[in-house]
Structure formats: structure tokens, C-alpha cells
Amino acid sequence: MVKDYIELNAFLKVHDLAPTGGQAKNLIRSGVVTVNGEVENRNKRKLKVGDTVMCQGKEFVVKEENIR
């Protein structure tokens, strides 16, 4: 089965914004992560190609290579 999404916590780890799952969870729950311009508190939010994630003053766009 091919996935068509990446979970937010995994995305943060891939981009070195959180070294562990626990730290990713804390970062998300602190209210500083936005997805497509809205604060996101769900750790396992499914991100699809084209979604925009903003964290620590940096903007990231979900690309196909992020989803595996």
C-alpha cells in the first residue's frame, strides 16, 4: 500500500525541527506549528503534497519526496 501523506510529527523530524517524537509532540502542542496558515495541535495530522508547514520562523512545503 502506498501512502499519500506524512504525519506532522514525522515531517518535523525529517526537517530536523525535532530530534525525537516526544519533542515533536511537545512542539506541536505548544501551538507554534501552523499548517496551511492555521495553528495545528494534532500530532498525527496527515500532510499531503502542497501543504505548507510553518515552524520556528521557517516555512516548508510538503513535497512528494517527503511522503514514502
Average pLDDT, the chain: 94
DSSP string, 29-58: HTT--EETTEE---TTPEE-TT-EEEETTE
Domain layout of the chain by residue ranges: 6-66
| CATH number of the 6-66 domain | 3.10.290.10
The pTM (predicted TM-score) of the whole model is 0.91
Percent of all residues in the chain with a pLDDT value above 70, rounded to a whole number: 97
For 27-52, write each residue's pLDDT tens digit. Answer: 999 999 999 999 999 999 999 999 99
